[in-house]
Amino acid sequence: MKLLQIKMYRRINYIAAILVLVCGLGAQAQVTTSSPYSRFGLGNIKGSLLPQFRAMGGISAAVNSVTGFNNINMQNPASYSAITLTTIDVGMSAGLTSLTRNSLTQTSFNSTFSHLAFAIPVSRRSALSFGILPYSDLGYSYRNTVKIDTMSVDQLYEGEGGLSKAYIGYGYRIGDHLRIGANAEYIFGNLQTTRATEYASVGAYNAKLQNKNSVGGLTYSYGIQYDFNIGKKTSMTLGYSGSNSGKLNSTQTFYATQYTRDANGLENIAIDTLSSVDNGRSNLTLPLSHNFGISIKETDHWLIGADFRMSKWAATSINNINSGLQDSWGASLGGQWT
């Protein structure tokens, strides 16, 4: 018994050490995307789907097992109750982006940590899952030139950073058909943006707005699934998952400055600070989200499913400012066969 306890403590310490290391990497990560579309809202939202669910078209609400293997479906924590063996899932992601405007093309390659997730059975009917993964990423740098009378004015936009999500969740099976579950989630990270207006004349007074938000706060998600037997080896599952419209704490640093550029185009030290905010306290509001799904499967042979999802992005805000986002919705259809 003592030997078993020692092995268990070592395993827990090992897992905790990995989580601390990955949390540190996630907190320090800055630029993991190169997309001008990440300028809006919280950046590019990554979602909570692991690769095996993305490969099935993004279905998740009504999926609790794939061909009998133990898969961690953190999008619907009710699915944890189907996990029967200790499971570890870790991954990296990479992307190649090509942007074209007029005759100019810019190509960039980014790679980053994707996810680290654990699932541990607690009893015959339940399991615990925890891990860390990106929530959003922010990365862009582009220039837009406009004409004001006869003068050329450059508008510069830059952004970097992103948010990460650490979670712990529990799923429980009630009877033979009903599954319920919930995740407690801590979202944290930095979002940094810069906007500048520059004139072509050497020595002209240019303006720059620099804004940084350090974000951290708790939120939660939840889910339910119900299984129906429709044949000897065939079953149908109805599922729902959602997340609350939570508020995260945000510490804001903001500077509005004037500066000039020399004859070589180099930026001089700011000559005036027009406005500033240091350690300003505010909130960042997350959207209320819903995901509905249905799946039909034959055990260890095939699965097909569909999801419908919606998120109330029109109600989100950063520092009490709504950036003009609209509510989103989407549908997924997919499956697998072995």
pLDDT 10s digits, 150-165: 788 989 999 999 999 9
Cβ contact 305:334 at 8 Å: yes
Looking at residue 68, its pLDDT comes to 67
Residue 11 backbone class (left: φ over 0; alpha: ψ -120 to 50; beta: rest):
alpha
The pLDDT, as a whole number, for residue 1 is 45
Q: Which residue segments constitute the domains of the chain, with CATH numbers given?
A: 2-337 (2.40.160)
Residue 15's pLDDT is what?
A: 53
Strands 151-174 vs 104-123: parallel, antiparallel or unpaired: unpaired
User: What are the phi and psi torsion angles at 322 (to 5°)?
Assistant: -90, 125
Question: What residues contact residue 52 under an 8 Å CB cut-off, 6+ apart?
Answer: 66, 71
pLDDT on residue 40: 82
Rounded CA separation 263/203 (Å): 8
Containing H/E element for 302? strand 302-311
**Left (φ > 0), alpha (ψ -120 to 50) or beta: where does 67 sit?**
left
12 membership: H or E segment, kind and range: helix 2-28
Distances in whole angstroms, Cα of residue 80 to Cα of each of 168, 221, 238, 282: 11, 13, 15, 35
Per-residue pLDDT at 173: 97
Using CA atoms, how far apart are residues 208 and 157, in angstroms rounded to an integer? 10
Residues in the chain, overall count = 338
Q: What is the pLDDT of residues 36-53, one digit of tens each?
A: 778 888 888 988 889 889
Distance of CA 139 to the CA centre of its chain: 14
Question: Is residue 29 pLDDT above 50, yes or no?
Answer: no
The one-letter code for the residue type at 23 is C
Lowest mean pLDDT among 54-63, 88-97, 118-127, 218-227: 88-97
Q: Is the dihedral of CA 224, 23, 287, 32 positive or negative?
A: negative
From its phi and psi, is residue 243 left (phi > 0), alpha (psi between -120 and 50) or beta? beta
Q: Is 29 helix (H, G, I), strand (E, B) or coil?
A: coil
pTM here is: 0.84
Q: Give the residue-averaged pLDDT of 52-74.
A: 88
Q: pLDDT value at position 66?
A: 72
Q: What confidence score (pLDDT) does residue 268 get?
A: 81
Q: Give φ, ψ of 208 to 5 degrees.
A: -140, 135
- The two beta strands, 289-298 and 302-311, are antiparallel
Phi/psi for 75 (5° steps) reads -70, -30
- Whose CA is closest to 114, among 97, 133, 135? 133
What span, in angstroms and rounded, lies between the C-alpha atoms of 87 and 64? 14
CA distance linking residue 46 with residue 187, whole number of Å: 13
Report which of 112, 108, 159 is spatially closest to residue 132, judged by C-alpha positions: 112
Rounded to an integer, what distance in angstroms lies between the CA atom of residue 243 and that of residue 290? 7
Evaluated on CA atoms 27, 31, 32, 35, the torsion sign reads positive
**What does the block give as tokens for 94?**
């990479």
Residue with tokens 């180099």: 266
Phi, psi of 3 (to 5 degrees): -65, -40
